Amino acid sequence: MLDVQGVFKRYATPQGPLAVLQGVDLHLGQGSSLALMGESGSGKSTLLHLIAGLDRVDAGSIRIGRQHLQQMSEAQLANWRRTEVGLVFQQFNLISSLRVEDNLGFQARLAGRFDPLWQARLVERLGLGDLLRRYPEQLSGGQQQRVALGRALASKPRLLLADEPTGSLDEASSDEVLKLLLELLADSPTSLLMVTHSQRVASRLQQIVVLQHGRLADPVEA
- Residues within the interface to ligand ADP (CB under 6 A): 11, 13, 18, 20, 38, 40-46
150 binds, among ligand ADP, Mg ion, none (CB under 5 to 8 A by kind): none
Judge contact between 21 and 48, C-beta under 8 A.
no
Using the minimum distance from each CB to ligand ADP, give the nearer residue, 64 or 210.
210
Judge contact between 190 and 162, C-beta under 8 A.
no
CA atoms of 85 and 79, how far apart (whole Å) = 9
Min dist. Cβ of residue 126 to ligand ADP (A): 26
φ/ψ of 23, rounded to 5, equals: 100, 60
Using the minimum distance from each CB to ligand ADP, give the nearer residue, 24 or 100.
24
Min dist. Cβ of residue 90 to Mg ion (A): 8
43 binds, among Mg ion, ligand ADP, none (CB under 5 to 8 A by kind): ligand ADP
Using the minimum distance from each CB to Mg ion, give the nearer residue, 45 or 103.
45
Q: Where does this chain bind Mg ion (CB under 5 A)?
A: 44-45
**Residue number of the CB atom closest to Mg ion:** 45
Min dist. Cβ of residue 205 to ligand ADP (A): 17
Element (H, E) at 172: helix 171-186
CA atoms of 132 and 40, how far apart (whole Å) = 35
Min dist. Cβ of residue 164 to Mg ion (A): 7
Using the minimum distance from each CB to ligand ADP, give the nearer residue, 24 or 154.
24
9: helix, strand or coil: strand
18 binds, among ligand ADP, Mg ion, none (CB under 5 to 8 A by kind): ligand ADP
Min dist. Cβ of residue 26 to Mg ion (A): 16
Judge contact between 217 and 209, C-beta under 8 A.
yes
Using the minimum distance from each CB to Mg ion, give the nearer residue, 44 or 146.
44
Min dist. Cβ of residue 2 to ligand ADP (A): 18
Contacts 24+ apart (CB under 8 A), 172-176: 172/142, 173/140, 173/141, 173/142, 173/145, 174/142, 174/198, 174/201, 176/142
CA atoms of 182 and 36, how far apart (whole Å) = 16
46 binds, among ligand ADP, Mg ion, none (CB under 5 to 8 A by kind): ligand ADP
Closest CA to 151 of 118, 104, 108: 104
